[in-house]
Amino acid sequence: MALIELPTKRKQDKRARQADPEDALAGTPGTRFSRHLILCLVGLVMLYPLLWLISSSLKPSNDIFRQLGLWPENWDFGNYAQGWTALDQPFHVYLFNSMIVVVFSIVGNIFSCALAAYAFARMEFTGRKLFFALMLGTLMLPGHVLLVPQYIIFSQLGWLDTYLPLIMPNFMATNAFFIFLMVQFMKALPKELDDAAQIDGCGPFRTFLRVILPLCVPAMATTAIFTFISTWNEFFGPLLYIQNQDLYTVPLALRAFMDSEGQSMWGPMFAMSVVSIAPIIGFFIAGQKYLINGIATTGLK
Amino acid sequence: MSVLTKQAPGAAAALGAGAPGRPSRGTPRRKNQRSGYLFLLPWFLGMLFTIIPFFASLYLAFTDYNLFMEPNFVGLANFQAMAGDPRLWQSLKVTFIYTFVSVPISLAVALAIALVLNRGLQGLAIYRSVYYLPSLLGGSVAIVMLWRYIFGNDGIVNGFLSLFGIQGPAWVTDPDFSLSTLIVLNVWTFGSPMVIFLAGLRQVPTMYYEAASIDGASRWRQFRSITIPLISPIIFFNLIMQLIGSFQTFTQGYVMSGGTGGPADSTLFYNLYLYQKGFTEFEMGYASAMAWLLLMIIAIFTAVNFIASKFWVFYDN
């Protein structure tokens, strides 16, 4: 229970801490230097696999395991061209498929979670506490408990081999994390806003749309970025519901590379791996602020 | 939870107190009621879509359902079969080892790095980003595939070891080592608990440390008596989230073994076995029973943690 209190508390104290002198903990130049040294070494170890992946994608397949160094002796951009066309469909088809799932998932999550969060954070109705507790309960529910019946429902609906099983749950606010994130955010907005909007003649829906939602852009951005990353990486859902190779999302397409394993395919496979994680790194760089704040607020991965 | 919903009674009372002064046109509260439910409409649908499958899978756990024929009630047969299923025990073993080795290590690394970062160093944002990035990638197929090659027979890990004259094992194909590569992968994603630790450390007031050093407390003593108690709720939070997450590992085992859980079932994670039972052998009754066992295990671990937390988690208020 008290678990849930953390975020708000943390937010307030963060501000308080900023006034404190930072150098109280900093230590002498010597210890500072050694700390930087350790942090840089750890960082290098952390990044090495990624750098190796990128460098391998630029080497001829035969060189990949012969050279340990990161700098390719023979540059080979052909891996990208070869990998792009190595599977049944050119790779942009899979990128496009993933994009469709991602875009609809983002729209669905923002739409349904913002609505639910507004009701939980700023409205009065019977059963609100109960529903909120229920919502928090679903946070900890392992998804596999619902797996078999949901699969049956989707197959009865004729939704197998479509993106609907991957997209539709997002329109039904099933992602309690994002509701929780937005509730936290909306609670911090002054209550007077709603009263003022009401006096000006706004109904609840207009208050939500015109007053609250525009103030929640940071929370929505966090939701969008997290949805992007988790949906882009999502492997289990597509594995379960998508059989048709033309509909494969990027993770399924990458797995197909593994099936056609063989030394000659290493380079192209690494090249397409780079292509598949590049959007995540891009979004990470662009949306760092929202990611770090979001994870510090909800503990989301 | 209590804190989040605490405002409600007060706000309701205020609304009630204000009611007599308001023009009695319609019933504004009732109206607010209805629009509250309207806002929750998608969520209600989602809850239906959660609650019905929740109980349906409980029912299926006691049947022999196989997707093609009507389910027959078989009592506890699935659970009895599970008790005598060596692969099920193996999958539990794999999942437990993975969880109880990788979660403590990644939390310890996350806390250690967060402590160093919290010392007011320059370039905090850069370090934080570098350490955090892997946790966004750790679950992706691309990275698990990469891991296969990094730990491959002549991958970079063995290449590095051979610099010191050590002949590394066949990490991926040797059942004794295959799971450890995935443990390393999980530790590699320590960035997300680290960011949470960092946020928690920043709220520990520096005056506590100043007071303690005036009293002559050593660094270690300060860490044990100030830092640990004050961030214990965050350690607890991270522990619960990491445990729940790692009990449900799937992609890592699937991709590393090409879907088999091999070699010799050494990467047969619980959810991977559940998937094999339910969706390649279509024993969906059995798979449902497995899902409920996992739910029970997670519930018990969470409950034990909550009870144990009374003895070591310190709440300021």
Candidate from A8, A129, A292 with C-beta closest to B128: A292
In chain A, the residue whose alpha carbon lies closest to the alpha carbon of B161 is A68
> A91-298: which CATH topology?
MetI-like fold (1.10.3720)
Q: Does B103 touch chain A (CB under 8 A)?
A: no
Query: CB atoms < 10 A from the CB of A290, how many?
Result: 20
CB–CB of A273 and B287 under 8 A?
no
pLDDT category at A297 given cuts 50, 70, 90 is low
In chain B, the residue whose alpha carbon lies closest to the alpha carbon of A115 is B39
CA separation, residue B45 to residues A23, A80, A140, A143 (Å): 53, 44, 19, 17
pLDDT of B193 reads 92
CB–CB of B135 and A143 under 8 A?
no
When divided into structural domains, chain B yields a total of 1
Q: Looking at the domain assignment, is residue B13 inside a domain?
A: no
CB–CB of B140 and A280 under 8 A?
yes
Residue A300 has pLDDT above 60, yes or no: no
Q: Looking at the domain assignment, is residue B128 inside a domain?
A: yes
Residue A33 has pLDDT above 80, yes or no: yes
Contact B46, A109 (CB under 8 A): no
pLDDT of A112 reads 95
pLDDT category at A191 given cuts 50, 70, 90 is confident
pLDDT of B166 reads 85
In chain A, the residue whose alpha carbon lies closest to the alpha carbon of B39 is A115
| Range of lowest pLDDT (A95-109, A157-171, B191-205, B287-301) | B191-205
Q: Looking at the domain assignment, is residue B280 inside a domain?
A: yes
Which residues of chain B are within 8 Å of residue A292 when distances are taken between CB atoms? 128, 132, 195
| Range of lowest pLDDT (A123-127, A157-161, B58-62) | A123-127
pLDDT of A20 reads 42
The CA distance from B91 to the nearest CA of chain A, in Å, is 15
3-state helix, strand, coil in chain A (%, to 5): 75, 0, 25
For residues A258-288, one letter each, b for 16 or more C-beta atoms within 10 angstroms of the residue's C-beta and e for the rest, the string is beeeeeebbbbbbbbbbbbbebbeebbeebb
* Domain assignments of chain A as residue spans, ordered by start: 91-298
Among B114, B271, B115, B251, CA closest to B186: B251
Give the contacts of B19 (CB within 8 A, at least 6 positions apart): B29
Structure tokens at A209: 């749309």
Q: Looking at the domain assignment, is residue B302 inside a domain?
A: no
Each of the 317 residues of chain B gets a pLDDT tens digit; together they read: 333 333 333 333 333 333 344 444 445 555 667 888 999 999 999 999 999 999 999 999 999 998 888 899 999 999 999 999 999 999 999 999 999 999 999 999 999 999 988 887 788 888 988 999 999 998 899 999 999 888 988 788 888 888 888 888 888 889 999 999 999 999 999 999 999 999 889 888 888 888 998 998 888 899 999 999 999 999 998 999 899 999 999 999 999 998 898 899 999 999 999 999 999 999 999 999 999 999 999 999 989 999 998 888 887 65
CB–CB of B121 and A36 under 8 A?
yes
Measured distance CA(B128)–CA(B198) in Å, rounded: 9
Domain of residue B279 covers: 79-291
Q: Does A101 touch chain B (CB under 8 A)?
A: no
Interface of B with A in 296-315 (CB under 8 A): 298, 302, 313, 315
| Collapsed DSSP state (helix, strand, coil) of residue A96 | helix
pLDDT of A66 reads 67
Candidate from A17, A115, A136 with C-beta closest to B203: A17
CB–CB of A273 and B240 under 8 A?
no
Task: Tell me what ipTM this predicted complex has.
Answer: 0.85
CATH number, residue B286: 1.10.3720.10
